[in-house]
Structure 1
Amino acid sequence: MTKEGSAGGNTGQIAHHIHELSVEDEERLGNLFKQLDVNGDGRIDIHDLSVSLRRMGIHQMPGHAQKFIERSDQNKSGDLTLAEFVYYVLEHEKKLKLVFSSLDHNKDGRLDLEEIYSSLHKLGLQVDRAEAKRLLQRMDKDGTLEISYGEWRDYLLFHPSSELHDILQYWRHSTYLDIGEDLNVPDDFSAEELQQGLWWRHLLAGGVAGAVSRTATAPLDRLKVFLQVHGKSHFCSIQHCLRHMLNEGGVRSLWRGNGINVLKIAPESALKFMAYEYAKRALRGDRPRDISIYERFAAGSFAGGFSQTVIYPMEVLKTRLALRRTGQYKGMVDAAMKIYRAEGLLSFYKGYVPNLLGIIPYAGIDLTVYETLKKRYLRNHDESEDPGVLVLLACGTASSTCGQIASYPLALVRTRLQAAAVLQQQAGGTDPATLNMRSLFRSIIQQEGFLGLYRGIAPNFLKVAPAVSISYVVYEKCRTALGVTMT
């Protein structure tokens, strides 16, 4: 080992640590280095580390592998020699040992549930014993419901910080990851995270991700709106509808309505976040605990309903702008003024009831399916193995799809009610003032059958996977840039 250490051109301080190694540590760290050195060139770079940690089933938060390389790379070459690796790991393990000892209140060499629970509370992380137990089980490899120093060390070896607060935050948040194009249930934050301003960074990162995702999938969204509103009487296929839109307004027309769709992200996210926090406080009462999945669903549904109530006129405006003909409106403000003059203020709340009703099945099914799939994955894999990005994206896509199937008929009726005046102008149909949710449901089923309630769902499904993927990638990039160290 000393030969490789000197070959790396490191200081005598590193070589001194190499000579101090016990036979057991020398074998352990030597074998670990070989595992991490994917291409076998005697050095570990960021690619080697990322790939090997993924193979080993070790949880990685974005940016952690890069930080590990940066902090252990003493000669700033961009990769690690064996000597550099051993030196950094030994120093890191010393710090981890000190943290472990500070949590081990009864000094028996193991961490139990009470010690973890009390430590989390001292740091302002309000968790109940059920969550503390889940955290313990995540690190507890031998199923004793206690954590040995070896289990602690192995789990946190590649975490770039040895600060107790950072470790507990990482440990807690590594168990949660919610992804989707437009979640109805926001993420949870501790009191300290709220004070540190993580919430607004998270909202900003989510807003940018949503804007990019919605813009990228806007043509599919407009296609969906056209098929929902016009039904089979106008367009016999997706290709027919797409051809019509291109002939009427050109390629740029595919993004009609996207501006207002992006613009409403900020107020909707902020209102949803504030309402969610209020609902959580109401559900908790005076008890310092984390809310259950059912309470999250209730709080999320309330938050979604509240935010939708406030920004709903923007939803109506989005639909009308997506359906507009070339030259009909000069912009968002012009469209709003013309609609108000012609149809009155109540026109901006057309379809509000089915929209509100649709939040409950979508939020409930989306959240339930996502949590169920994630837990099933964890049950069928080693406890120390975290779901990879592809698994979580698949869970997010599947849960979003199931939620949409359940709530889609309500979404279709909502869109037709929003566009009732447009249909009446174009075809002299039913007076929009007399149209309501019940009569519209009856009319669609009579004229188009049950499948008529799912008109436009194909382009909606087509946009789920790219929307979720784009949202995730952009969110992670923004999150890293803003310094939000949680998923």
Structure 2
Amino acid sequence: MSNTVKDLTAGTFGGICQVLVGQPFDIVKVRMQTAPKGTYNGMVHCAGGILRNEGPLAFYKGTLTPLLGIGVCVSIQFGALEYAKRIFASQNLAAGIGGEGGKTLTGNQLFGAGVFAGLANGIVSGPVEHIRIRLQTQSNTSPLYNGPWDAIKRIYHQCGIAGIYKGQAVTLLREASGYGIYFLTYEKLVQWEIEKKGIRRDQIKPINSVAYGAAAGYALWAIIYPIDMIKSRIQTDGFTLSTGQKYKSTLDCVKTVWRTEGSGAFVRGLGPTLIRSPFANGATFLGFEVAMRTLDKI
């Protein structure tokens, strides 16, 4: 089995683990990010309202899109990351640095590989998250869309491909900055354990992969949360003035939110994100590492 096939397969498994663990937290985050100021007193109030008014299955509303889409996204992330890592390793090997096979990458190389992974991922994650957020925030009693495929067809019919990719610029900014830090953090922790204990990567305990993934997730959200909030606002905004468009552009969104809601709006919904992060990101890396070890034996 080729390296690329293994990377993509293991990434898909990691993405599925991420969605199944993180989706209930994510819908609370999105509701809090996009609701008018004062709608919720906190994440418990928000989650309680969803449970009371919409039932427990509402926490997995819109899950089909991320289950398929995020599986593809994480597959692309890890595929692009591992490809970039191999390129850097070959450069290190030619230069006689980076240890055996040139595989010990520098911080700049790991950050660059993460940026590349984020940009590659953003091509898919932008429309996937746009459709997911539309489904997560629509009324439960009179929904605008009957599911992900209906949403895609109706948005495409009304606005074309630009409608599907609404919020793409801010999505790419989020992915590039966030995944640069994300993979840098995880890979540096892995390097630290390998060097400290003199072991191979496949000898790292699964629980440590979970812990390193959790740390990487916190580093990710520390960088991107305000960007993510703006992305959510843009992707739930109307497409035209006739459909309730509030923001003329990403910059107008930032200015309007700051002027009308203050700086606190940029971190609204951070609580469920911080609770979700160690579980979802730990599950992602655990799923990837376990899958890679299994595939290496085939």
TM-score, with structure 1 as normaliser: 0.51
Q: Where do 5+ consecutive residues of structure 2 fail to align?
A: 95-100
Deviations 1:325-345 (CA, angstroms, capped at 9, x unpaired)? 235222211111222344443
User: In the alignment, does 2:159 pair up with 1:346?
Assistant: no
CA distance in 1, matches of 2:81, 2:156: 32
State how far apart, in whole Å, the 1-side matches of 2:79 and 2:73 are.
10
Which amino acid is the alignment partner of residue 278 of structure 2? A
Give the 3 Å change call, closer, same or farther, for CA 368–310 of structure 1 in structure 2.
closer
Give unmatched runs, 5+ long, in structure 1. Answer: 1-195
CA contact (8 A) 2:213 2:281 kept: yes
345 and 373 in structure 1: CA distance in 2 versus 1, 3 angstrom threshold: closer
Structure 2: distance between partners of 1:290 and 1:437:
41
Displacement after TM superposition at 1:323 (Å)? 1.3
The answer as to 2:213 corresponding to 1:396 is: yes
Residues 314 and 456 of structure 1, relative CA distance in 2, 3 Å threshold: same
Please list the CA deviations of residues 365-402 of structure 1 after superposition, one character each: whole Å capped at 9, or x if unmatched.
223333444555667x5556976444443232122202
Equivalent residue in structure 1 for 2:15, among 210, 227, 244: 210
Q: How does 1:128-277 map to 2 (within 5 A)?
A: 196-269=1-74, 271-272=76-77, 275=80
Residues 290/469 of structure 1: CA separation in 2 closer, same or farther (3 Å cut): same
Aligned to 1:113: none
Which residue of structure 2 lines up, in the alignment, with residue 363 of structure 1? 179
CA distance in 2, matches of 1:382, 1:209: 26
Secondary structure of 1:208's aligned partner: helix
Q: 2:223 aligns with which of 398, 403, 406?
A: 406
Q: Which residue of 2 aligns with 1:484?
A: 296
- The answer to whether the Cα contact below 8 Å between 2:181 and 2:220 also exists between their aligned partners in 1 is yes
Greater fraction helix: 2
How far apart, in 2, do the equivalents of 1:303 and 1:207 lie? Answer: 14
> In the alignment, is the contact (CA less than 8 A) between 2:117 and 2:179 conserved in 1?
no
- Per the alignment, residue 444 of structure 1 pairs with 257
Shift of 1:282: 7.1
Q: Shift of the alpha carbon at 1:417? A: 0.1
Q: Which whole-Å CA distance do the structure 2 matches of 1:392 and 1:416 have between them?
A: 33
1:466 aligns with 2:269: no
- The amino acid that maps onto 1:395 is Y
Deviations 1:100-125 (CA, angstroms, capped at 9, x unpaired) = xxxxxxxxxxxxxxxxxxxxxxxxxx
Change (3 A) 1:237 1:258: same
Q: Relative to structure 2, which stretch is displaced further, 408-417 or 212-221? A: 212-221
Q: Give the partner amino acid of 2:45.
A: H
- Matched ranges for 1:41-190 at <5 A: none
Match of 1:418 among 200, 217, 235: 235
The Cα shift of 1:225 comes to 0.7
Q: Give how far 1:455 is off.
A: 1.1
Report how far residue 474 of structure 1 moved: 4.4
The equivalent of 2:98 in structure 1 is none
2:139 pairs with 1:325? yes
Aligned to 2:117: 303
- SS of structure 1 residue aligned to 2:41: coil
**1:447 maps to amino acid:** T
Could you tell me how far apart the structure 2 residues matched to 1:412 and 1:316 are?
13
In structure 2, what residue type is equivalent to 1:438?
L
Q: Secondary structure at the match of 1:257?
A: coil
Q: 1:346 to 1:282 in 2, by over 3 A?
A: same
* Contact preservation (8 Å) 2:7, 2:75: no
Deviations 1:113-155 (A, max 9, x none): xxxxxxxxxxxxxxxxxxxxxxxxxxxxxxxxxxxxxxxxxxx
CA deviations on 1:252-283 (whole Å, 9 max, x unpaired) are 11111211001113543454466557756876
Q: Tell me by how many angstroms 1:316 deviates.
A: 0.9
1:407/1:308 Cα in 2 relative to 1: closer, same or farther (>3 Å)? same
Question: TM-score normalized by structure 2?
Answer: 0.79
Question: How far is 1:212 from its partner?
Answer: 3.1
1:296 CA displacement: 3.7
Partners of 2:70 and 2:241 in 1: CA distance: 30
Superposed displacement of residue 438, structure 1:
1.4
Distance 1:384 1:200, change over 3 A: closer
Could you tell which deviates more after superposition, 358-367 or 224-233?
358-367
Among 312, 335, 350, the alignment partner of 2:126 is 312
Moved more, 289-298 or 438-447: 289-298
Task: Pick closer, same or farther for the CA change 1:221–1:287 going to 2, 3 Å.
Answer: same
User: How many angstroms apart in 2 are the aligned matches of 1:216 and 1:267?
Assistant: 16
| Correspondence for 1:54 | none
Write the distance in 2 (CA, Å) between the matches of 1:401 and 1:323: 25
Per-residue deviation, 1:418:
0.2
Structure number with higher relative contact order (C-alpha < 8 Å, ≥ 6 residues apart)? 2
Contact 1:231–1:452 (CA under 8 A) maintained in structure 2: no
Instruction: Tell me, in whole angstroms, the C-alpha distance in 2 between the residues paired with 1:376 and 1:204.
Output: 26
Q: How many residues align?
A: 285
